[in-house]
């Protein structure tokens, strides 16, 4: 039996394309999961930052600017820590 070169080439290309297709599908699923996780992390960080800012402003209105300076610094450090933690993940 003699195998036609054209038939062999078509079979090889079909196998290669199917392999690339299945690799891209599994890679795309992973990317979607990663994007969703990243979006969740960004949202959580933004909410925490917003809550801390509201606490800072409320404290400043109720207790005065000088009494809340330490809390404001603490919240800024927590925001920075959240950003670093999110970047590492």
The answer to whether the predicted template modeling score (pTM) of the entire model surpasses 0.75 is no
Q: Which two tokens stand for residue 44?
A: 């959580």
Q: Which two tokens stand for residue 78?
A: 């927590």
- Torsion, Cα of 24, 27, 32, 35 (10° steps): -130
Q: Could you list the pLDDT tens digit for every one of the 89 residues in the chain?
A: 455 666 776 776 777 766 666 655 555 566 788 888 888 888 889 999 999 999 999 998 898 888 889 999 999 999 999 888 888 76
* Cβ atoms of 75 and 52 closer than 8 Å: yes
Domain boundary assignment for the chain:
5-88
């Amino acid at each position: 039996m003699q195998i036609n070169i054209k038939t062999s080439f078509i079979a090889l290309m079909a196998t290669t394309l199917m392999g690339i297709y299945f690799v891209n599908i599994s890679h795309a699923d992973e990317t979607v999961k990663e994007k969703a996780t990243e979006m969740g992390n960004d949202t959580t960080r933004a909410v925490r930052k917003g809550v801390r800012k509201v606490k800072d402003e409320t404290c400043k209105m109720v207790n005065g600017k000088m009494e809340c300076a330490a809390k404001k610094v603490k919240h800024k450090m927590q925001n920075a820590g959240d950003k670093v933690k999110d970047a590492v993940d």
